[in-house]
Amino acid sequence: MNRLGILFAGQGAQHPGMGVGWTAVDPVAAKTLSEASRILGYDLADLLSSIDGRLDETIYAQPAIVVSSLLAYQSLLRSTHLRPDAFAGFSLGEWTALGAAGIFDFEHLLQFVQVRAQAMQAAAKATPGAMAAVVGLSDLQVCDVCAEATRVGSYVIAANFNCPGQIVVSGHADAVVRAGDLARAAGAKRVVPLSVSGAFHTALMQPAADRLATAIAGAEPFPAAAPVYANVTAQPYGKDELRRLLPLQITSPVLFETTIRNMMASGITHFLEIGPGSALSGFVRKISLDLPVARLDGPEDLANVKGWLKAHGFSE
């Protein structure tokens, strides 16, 4: 029996115009975008269409990605009556997954995401860091490289385990440079610096994690429509784990490859990536060539996705 997992994009996938197209084909999407602007306190439609660089700032990128991804997901639901079997997201995308699963209502979701974005940008400004993707080494090799590159007061860790042969390292900028040099010497095919302002998913983000923990302390989550997998554990959220794991996610590695493998082990047979970009689809294909995967970004993708869902038995 086919079972569908929904994946949501993380920060870095944003692009000008994302999400805006849904308002032209779905009247409900236009109302949702207007509501998001009210909650966030600025014109989100203007931001999504902007080419002035604001979309690359963490404080704007995170809410924008979550809203544009939910616009796509909700429009798909209204046209297919889809019932996913599981949700997951990459870093920020985990918040979109929580919203899609109904664990947080839209207003509280955006309020929490805005706090997260502001706190992470502030932490990055207070303690600048760097990140880089290492391609062509094993997980163990990258962890060894990070250990060798770490000095007193200057450390780097493996922060994103994306797929076989692609791990992102994160930490103090000089340590990330040392790790890159050591990775090349160990045989890495490429070391690609990422355009980020901070050492995300490391202890340098602890002030942001603390602020988020305070913000969500009184949160009252709703039951999930389907299991949501946590980046920190690569397992579905258990009862009462949200308030502990969501702040921890900011300072902990993203176990994306293990998440996908655990979803497969639970019976998920197909994956649909929703939101800007196609990075997660690429990771899934590298984890397992046999996994059917599709992606939905804008309304121009909708017909193909609906056909794909119907062909695999997920919609009438």
For residue range 169-218, what is the model confidence (pLDDT) as tens digits?
A: 999 999 999 999 999 999 999 999 998 879 999 999 999 999 999 999 99
Range of the domain at 68: 4-125+204-311
Averaged pLDDT of the chain: 96
Picking from 144, 176, 196, the residue at the C-terminal end of a domain is: 196
pLDDT of residue 316: 72
Is there a catalytic annotation at residue 201? yes
Q: Which of 108, 172, 201, 270 is catalytic?
A: 201
91 is catalytic: yes
Q: Are residues 67 and 110 in the same domain?
A: yes
Task: Label each residue of the chain as H, E or C.
Answer: CCCEEEEECCCCCCCCCCCCCHHHHCHHHHHHHHHHHHHHCCCHHHHHHCCCCHHHCHHHHHHHHHHHHHHHHHHHHHHHCCCCCEEEECCCHHHHHHHHCCCCCHHHHHHHHHHHHHHHHHHHHHCCCEEEEEECCCHHHHHHHHHHHCECCECEEEEEEEECCEEEEEECHHHHHHHHHHHHHCCCCEEEECCCCCCCCCHHHHHHHHHHHHHCCCCCCCCCCCCEECCCCCCECCCCCHHHHHHHHHHCCECHHHHHHHHHHCCCCEEEEECCCCHHHHHHHHHCCCCCEEEECCHHHHHHHHHHHHHCCCCC
316 is a domain residue: no
pTM over 0.85: yes
Instruction: Place 290 in a pLDDT band, splitting at 50, 70 and 90.
Output: confident
Last residue of a domain, one of 164, 196, 228: 196
Catalytic residue among 68, 69, 75, 91: 91
Same domain for 63 and 159?
A: no
Are residues 246 and 271 located together in one domain of the fold? yes
What are the tens digits of pLDDT across the range 9-67?
999 889 999 999 999 999 999 999 999 999 999 999 999 999 999 999 999 999 999 99
CATH of the domain at 12: 3.40.366.10
pLDDT 10s digits, 131-159: 999 999 999 999 999 999 999 999 999 99
Residue 142 lies in a domain: yes
Are 215 and 186 in the same domain?
A: no
Q: Which pLDDT score, from 0 to 100, does residue 51 have?
A: 92
240 or 234: which leads in pLDDT: 234
